[in-house]
Structure 1
């Protein structure tokens, strides 16, 4: 399949074909390219050049993509910052990255350390004298995305245009996108999934992006009926919220061809229930920011295996190794390693962390997984989430899967709690469906025949919601601190 690029200036000849819209702005490909040139000229006037970091501190809106593209026009690096951050959290990322300019609704972080450009003052038309510099090459750095910091202070993951070009072209082929591709963007744009899967990939295909405001389950269905997207990408929590809405009006989802689930594991029960209600394939995938988003995914049209995240995506490789780095036999568990052109450049200014994570070109994920005979990957757990109870290794995901089999369980999380005798014991936090009539004792009785005694939670707590980190993953360190 012939591929375009995601660069606005390469796609201006698509003219009035719809490119990106939000609740307040709609841009054709020609208009998106014109806005990109205007903001690139504006940023150049502020001294932005090759290798500089341009930050956005914005909710999901079309201007965020314009600023990102304008930074690339100058061979600069785009860095979206979580707009929900406190001033202190934002300043850590802005100073760690050495950001030159931040585009925001109001000043954020150290007002003296960098230039602040109000989003409402972004230029819309370039001057007649504007001469764009040489465009970026595949070797140029493109994106700086900070990890959620679940293992310590957040680290900046540096991705190049070679990473993004490889991934987006591969994703176009994998998902079968054409010019009719229409992504409904509901995930936050400070996350690589939203940028790559829902924005750059449809741009490469000549499709369009509809950016919705703050997610709500009720609004989602209205947006699908109104906008007629062909796909969307979401996290398990969003699917749980959508499924709990009850019956969906007939024909409301007819435009959708498939949906993607990622960022955190989804239970087999929730995945099956979502597919049944939506009537489309929900393809579960797996990846890390450090590997440009997705490295494995169940195919839309080929065999999908519930409980797996699919085979390696085209052009990427997955290995399972033991603690000494040796490949384990098929069907045995070990650490998941990722190789191929999607693997990051490294962590910004963290040579030691980069050297620990990238070894001989392979990305060490810290995830425990198993490959089956067909190359489909089943994730067992995070290495660091493993509970050691009296010398016995326990993987929380196995307990979570057992609990998720109960019809009243919406989602759950299991962590290790300190124990003076055994070292650690598993404890569970459970969110139930609205109106569900189940007790903690009832859940304990439900999993008793499913788990050996050592794996049974010593305590089950029903909670209204589970804590989450900025990219929507369950905050297990936060849960551990509750029981510590």
Structure 2
């Protein structure tokens, strides 16, 4: 496979009349998606896009996203998806850093992108639906897909930049194709009759590989939700007969506490997949009881295309575990000095295989730091049991050191989620003159539930060692979240009582 877009071409040939993507009453069959993307490719060629050129796109979860995404690939371009919520300053950084030849933007987000494009001298095309449709109709479809080698870059995903300015992870056609096929064939086991829930942002690695590309590879249907809302999600699941739900932990928590629509039927839901961050065990079990489908946890990063480990559907699973390395991938735990870590010990996850990025765009220093001797160092701390199952302990940088003792927020958060009033929880460190750091927690409560900070502290104190329980608990209306719904601990600010 020399170009990722051949996944679409194959499904269009085999399943042309099947619905590829749906948003409420708007649908595209595989034949229509293939044709529209070929017209985008022709448009880009007319705009001077050459093989290897970077093309930025800012699109919501609408059928237009895959049209533009596969059109860029068909033209031989490199897709640079951008978060629609970015401001002009952030967009300008991305456009300048990757050297984008052109940016395509949905009208709703045009103000910030056009400002940035003017600042960086980047061509910009606003995809106003009627005008853009007319523009595409004026171009004959580019029938021949531009050949790329398997190692050519297909996608640049910019990381969140928690440790500085964002870095662009370069993923090759081989990276994405192999990760997609492994996900489709061995993890989700998707077929043409499946309907995948498309509530994960498609500009993110999780949504792209596990939802969009996996659905397309199998000839399945992807039903889209542009902005996650638990009630709308339940309505879509019922209306479209969703068979595979994909989400992050905050989505599962929201669905667990949402009111089910009248006559809601989960009969077709056969599988749920969680990733992005650790899923509290209480939430996992609660979802399975309510919806009658197993939840399989996986693990990955933008730099790993993204899937690296998974609880495989045809093997025993372990709640709270990210599972086993997937096909074509190896994992191990390493200590600070690079030595291996024995089962039961805690170390940093290192990964190698066909899913590892080719590097960070124009950042050889960062690439050399992250990828050593072929192993990508994730920054995530984990332990592995005697069966080879990995259990995330925490992000290396999130670990709290209180009075010389290591405290892993994930462990404390699991205890907080066991409190009957707690809906969401985040544990962070705060400066302390004596202990160095103190344990603090910010929680939200379930609808209609009541609890005081003191009650929550007492709950944790009974269940973890004295140096682990939070001395400060703040009850908030909501927790800050990123585009995928992942809780952003770096935006949580706590202070002493």
TM range (shorter): over 0.9
* Mean CA deviation greater in 230-239 or 115-124: 115-124
Matched, 1:159 2:174: no
Q: CA shift at 1:130, angstroms?
A: 5.0
Partner SS for 2:464: coil
> Aligned equivalents of 2:268 and 2:295: distance in 1?
14
Q: Contact 1:77 / 1:144 at 8 angstroms: preserved in 2? A: yes
Partner SS for 2:379: strand
Matches for 1:333-482 after TM superposition, within 5 Å: 333-480=346-493
**1:193 pairs with one of 206, 219, 231:** 206
Q: Per the alignment, do residues 127 and 59 of structure 1 end up closer, same or farther by CA in structure 2, a change over 3 Å counting? A: closer
* Mean CA deviation greater in 55-64 or 161-170: 55-64
> Aligned equivalents of 1:135 and 1:126: distance in 2?
24
Q: Contact 2:21 / 2:63 at 8 angstroms: preserved in 1? A: yes
Cα-to-partner distance string for 1:218-251 (whole Å, 9 max, x where unaligned): 1111111211121121111111111111456555
> Aligned equivalents of 2:300 and 2:285: distance in 1?
21
> Aligned equivalents of 2:136 and 2:142: distance in 1?
13
TM-score normalized with structure 2 length: 0.92
Matches for 1:300-315 after TM superposition, within 5 Å: 300-315=313-328
Q: Per the alignment, do residues 464 and 309 of structure 1 end up closer, same or farther by CA in structure 2, a change over 3 Å counting? A: same
> Aligned equivalents of 1:428 and 1:436: distance in 2?
18
Q: Contact 1:310 / 1:377 at 8 angstroms: preserved in 2? A: yes
**1:118 pairs with one of 109, 117, 126:** 126
> Aligned equivalents of 1:166 and 1:413: distance in 2?
35
Match of 1:52 in 2: 53
Partner SS for 1:7: helix
Partner SS for 1:455: coil
Partner SS for 2:118: coil
Matched, 1:142 2:154: yes
Partner SS for 1:149: coil
> Aligned equivalents of 1:324 and 1:456: distance in 2?
30
Match of 1:171 in 2: 183
Partner SS for 2:448: coil
Q: Contact 1:468 / 1:475 at 8 angstroms: preserved in 2? A: yes
Q: CA shift at 1:56, angstroms?
A: 1.1
* Mean CA deviation greater in 123-132 or 277-286: 123-132
Q: Contact 1:6 / 1:203 at 8 angstroms: preserved in 2? A: no
Match of 1:299 in 2: 312
* Mean CA deviation greater in 84-93 or 363-372: 84-93
Matched, 1:275 2:277: no
> Aligned equivalents of 1:239 and 1:145: distance in 2?
25
> Aligned equivalents of 2:270 and 2:241: distance in 1?
11
Q: CA shift at 1:320, angstroms?
A: 0.8
Q: CA shift at 1:383, angstroms?
A: 0.9
- How many pairs does the alignment contain? 481
* Mean CA deviation greater in 5-14 or 78-87: 5-14
Cα-to-partner distance string for 1:170-208 (whole Å, 9 max, x where unaligned): 112222212222211001111011110001012111212
* Mean CA deviation greater in 17-26 or 243-252: 243-252
Q: CA shift at 1:11, angstroms?
A: 3.3
Q: CA shift at 1:5, angstroms?
A: 6.9
> Aligned equivalents of 1:260 and 1:356: distance in 2?
31
Q: Contact 1:148 / 1:471 at 8 angstroms: preserved in 2? A: no
> Aligned equivalents of 2:483 and 2:259: distance in 1?
28
Q: CA shift at 1:136, angstroms?
A: 2.8
Which consecutive aligned stretches of 4+ in structure 1 deviate over 6 angstroms post-superposition? 481-484
Match of 2:250 in 1: 237
Q: Contact 2:5 / 2:74 at 8 angstroms: preserved in 1? A: no
> Aligned equivalents of 1:24 and 1:245: distance in 2?
24
Q: CA shift at 1:327, angstroms?
A: 1.2
Match of 2:227 in 1: 214
Cα-to-partner distance string for 1:250-275 (whole Å, 9 max, x where unaligned): 55222211111111111110110011
> Aligned equivalents of 1:65 and 1:477: distance in 2?
32
> Aligned equivalents of 2:184 and 2:358: distance in 1?
23
TM-score normalized with structure 1 length: 0.95
> Aligned equivalents of 2:259 and 2:231: distance in 1?
11
* Mean CA deviation greater in 473-482 or 174-183: 473-482
Q: Contact 2:56 / 2:81 at 8 angstroms: preserved in 1? A: yes
Q: CA shift at 1:131, angstroms?
A: 6.0
